[in-house]
Chains A and B, each alone.
Chain A
Amino acid sequence: MIHQFHTSFAGLPVFDLTDTTAAGELPAADAVAWRIRLDDYVDEFDPWRELFGTFTERVDTTRVRALLLGNWGNTYDVESTEPLALLTGAAERFPALHAVFVAEYLQEETEISWINHGDLTPLFTAFPKLTEVVVRGGIGLRFDPLKSTVLRDLRFESGGLPARVVQALGASELPALETLQLWLGVDEYGGDSTVEDLAPLLSGERLPALRDLGLQNSPQADQIAAAVAAAPVVARLERLSLAMGSLSDEGAEALLSGQPLTHLAGLDLHHHYLSDAMMERIKAALPGVQVNVDDQRDLEDDWRYVEVSE
């Protein structure tokens, strides 16, 4: 569960710009990542619009490098396209913007599976210089295949990432992309992608710079592990994560009997259904690799949970 705001984003400390702090002393525009959020529940979008207005008045937006869009009201009535439209509408005032976090809501504020998105394409077209983008929530999310020579870091956190998003990423041209993390989630909350949808990503053809791949939070972790075991992209990775999902001995067996993984710096498998013996085997087989097998789940449980769904 997500219960904590990021303290840093895109290499900058986060400044929490709320209806309260906006009136006080503010840091230099380029010294922080700005989280713009309301500090209370509201249904409608107007208060956030006002806060964003205050932000653009009080801060030299031409030097703003990173933004996090937080609590903008009731997420099931107000889609992320509303705050994004304000931002893209003012794109020429943000020439230095290179990192955006869409929807940094916490579990105490809204359900990740109730954050409604729409078409994200305008964000990428209005800000072609983006190097880092994080999106939380998957409902309604869509975008056209991306094309960027500078985008380095992409993360989609969701309880259910639509197949069309995975497919759009597969069709994207991102020669500079180093990190790609997908929380795939469960069907029930819109995570309808299949292992086949991951094929273009696993081939790595259009991702020559990829170093860090996360195919996380999936109830199909075993099948993903089997696909990863033979995936061309793995040879160039430094970090691989199949964490947060339902990985069991079956998937781990496939991983271990596939291509060598000893070149990895890190293998993150936390939140899993591996037996003790298998955890030991993985560590023994990958001596130079930092293996994270924390958070072993209840193997007796008939139901296999992912870490983040609802």
Chain B
Amino acid sequence: MRLTVVGTPGDRRVALFAAACRRAGLAEPALVPWRDVLLGRPFTVDGTLRVESPGEDAEVNALLRGPGDPARVGGGARWYRTFRAGLERLRPYPSVSDIDDIAVMFDKRAAHARLLAAGVPVPPALGPVAGYARLRARMAERGWHRVFVKPAHGSSASGVIALRTAQGGAVRAQTSAAREGDGWYNALRVRTLDTEPEIASLVDALAPDGLHVERWFAKAGLAQEGVRDGVGRVFDLRVVVVAGEPTHAVVRTAAVPMTNLHLGGRRGDLAAVRAAIPWAEAMDVCARAASCFPGSTMVGVDLLVGVGMRRFAVAEVNAFGDLLPGLAGLPGTSAEGGDTYDAQVAAVLRAPAGA
């Protein structure tokens, strides 16, 4: 069978998927650059399509978000508009990546609504907020004191704010967004903002691009090697679900509320987590989350585990959540021994799309 990947030339993801194809004895997939798709240039699709992340390419990023410093926070609305227009151009072709699923996954509000409607556990959401004042008013109405504010079309925790308020006007936020001059930029560290004007200015800067606000789900912690009992690091799980089966999982731990690796998060001990939580139930939650996106061969589910290790909530479903190079599949699954790309190639061979 023939596969064509829409991706960015030179991107790791493209190379990793091509390597998995070779291992399975398939021909090297053809590549359609996102650049051509976004610029409206002609392209040809040979066989079945796989839609890959546009990656971190500066030119593609500028096409999607518009010109400007690639490290700036924001621009999600324009990014999403352009991205969707690009996706539309892929609609005519048989694909292992469903165009509408991807579009929903890149809108945190729509994805949350879809999961909620399907009965998948998610943190409750606040509904639309147009700015900081409205956010606080809505929080007060609902009696919420701790929330996660997320740009509707963000990724990699860009612009995500862990916000808490107390009576007497105290408010505190943690975020990787840092102010420089009159703009906000992605820093590689999570910092605390504790003056209201600063926090309000960040929320107001992000709001025009759309916000998704969720109640803060108190995440469980894991013991940290060499550190006394009772300190630990918070964790969550990234679970890759391929053709309905949870096949790969990593634990992400952090000392701050965001566990993203580029913000100081670390890989945690999967065996310890498996022993501490009802694992089968956790995997079932992930499978149910994935089943909300039936046209997608693969999704990456961010699973939150509550402080008591018994409750779960899905923070996000990632359309391109498989970039976990070298990670072996979970024992006892059909992907045992292979990486996330091997698992997807195997799934495509089992049930080619459009066949």
Contacts and interface: CB of A to CB of B under 8 A. Distances in A.
Interface of A: 1-8, 16, 18, 20, 37, 39-41, 43, 74, 76-77, 106-109, 111, 114, 294, 310
Contacts of A2: 230-232
A103 to B, nearest CB: 13
A41 B218 contact: yes
Contacts of B192: 310
A108 B229 contact: no
Contact of B257 (A16, A37, A43, A108): A108
Contact of A3 (B146, B167, B226, B232): B232
Consensus secondary structure, chain B interface: loop
Contacts of B78: none
Contact of B229 (A6, A20, A39): A6
B145 A3 contact: no
Contacts of A20: 308, 310
Consensus secondary structure, chain A interface: loop
B172 interface: yes
A40 B255 CA distance: 21
Interface in B219-234: 219-223, 226, 229-234
10 tightest Cβ-Cβ pairs between the two chains A and B: A4-B232, A3-B221, A4-B221, A108-B218, A3-B232, A76-B166, A6-B230, A109-B218, A3-B234, A39-B308
Contacts of A3: 221-222, 231-234, 255
13 contacts: A3-B221, A5-B230, A6-B229, A16-B308, A18-B308, A39-B306, A41-B145, A76-B145, A76-B168, A77-B167, A107-B234, A108-B218, A109-B218
A249 to B, nearest CB: 24
B329 to A, nearest CB: 29
Contact of B307 (A5, A7, A77): A5
A111 B231 contact: no
A240 B105 CA distance: 53
Given A37-B308, A43-B145, 9 more contacts: A3-B233, A4-B230, A6-B230, A7-B229, A20-B308, A39-B307, A106-B307, A111-B164, A114-B166
Contacts of B223: 4
Interface residues of B, number: 35
Interface of B: 143-146, 164, 166-168, 170, 172, 192, 194, 215-216, 218-223, 226, 229-234, 255-257, 306-308, 310-311
A8 B172 CA distance: 31
B310 A1 contact: no
A37 B218 CA distance: 13
Nearest to B174: A310
Given A2-B231, A74-B145, A77-B167, A39 B221 contact: no
Nearest to A38: B308
